[in-house]
Chain A
Amino acid sequence: DTGVSQNPRHKITKRGQNVTFRCDPISEHNRLYWYRQTLGQGPEFLTYFQNEAQLEKSRLLSDRFSAERPKGSFSTLEIQRTEQGDSAMYLCASSFGGDGYTFGSGTRLTVV
């Protein structure tokens, strides 16, 4: 395992549908982060896990969003009742101790 893996790479969905993304971090990394990036902007923090505990959630994470990290391994990010404004790149990152994050390639969501 040499990096952070995200699936799918691309997702096109109709408005109102639910979508789920998966992130597999570097195996020895205890910290996992989700960020969202819209066109022309820098990534914005969504949520953070230390092992299996979700320790912080951004106000950007409305009640339509939920994230899990069962057993402190992979993580999933689910968006329910998608809206066009949810279209973005969703990035996952992991680290050990908080320095030098490793980012995945992201999942690009398009809501039509």
Chain B
Amino acid sequence: SQQGEEDPQALSIQEGENATMNCSYKTSINNLQWYRQNSGRGLVHLILIRSNEREKHSGRLRVTLDTSKKSSSLLITASRAADTASYFCATVDRGSTLGRLYFGRGTQLTVWP
């Protein structure tokens, strides 16, 4: 079953603009991860943020986590056409020893040149 919900479902921007995607989830988590998926391909792990962290950076990516609101955001700065893809958040439940991921439905990002 799906756990997270990404918002918006679709986002269309020009190259150079920033893209912000949000994720809400329902349970207590151990960590939250963001993945990218190009059309018809597998998922690429972007970043992992643990429940005791509030913000994390990786290159042009910035992820925040608010466990009180059960929400996370992914910011991509200075977007490029190559960033066009679907972006998914996925959570691992607190106490999980198996590391099972619960995914949302994703945000489809389109970056126009």
A positions within 8 Å CB-CB of B: 4, 6, 31, 33, 35, 40-45, 48, 50, 55-56, 89, 91, 93, 95, 97-106, 108
Contacts and interface: CB of A to CB of B under 8 A. Distances in A.
A44 to B, nearest CB: 7
Contacts of A101: 33, 43, 45, 99, 101
How many interface residues does chain B have, given as a range? 20 to 34
Contact of B92 (A56, A89, A98, A103): A98
B48 A42 contact: no
B103 A105 contact: no
B43 A43 contact: yes
Q: Which of B42, B98, B105 has its CB near the most chain A CB atoms (within 10 A)? A: B42
A105 B42 contact: yes
B10 to A, nearest CB: 11
Nearest to B104: A42
| Interface of chain A, main secondary structure | strand
B41 interface: yes
A102 to B, nearest CB: 7
B82 interface: no
A98 B92 CA distance: 9
A95 B42 contact: no
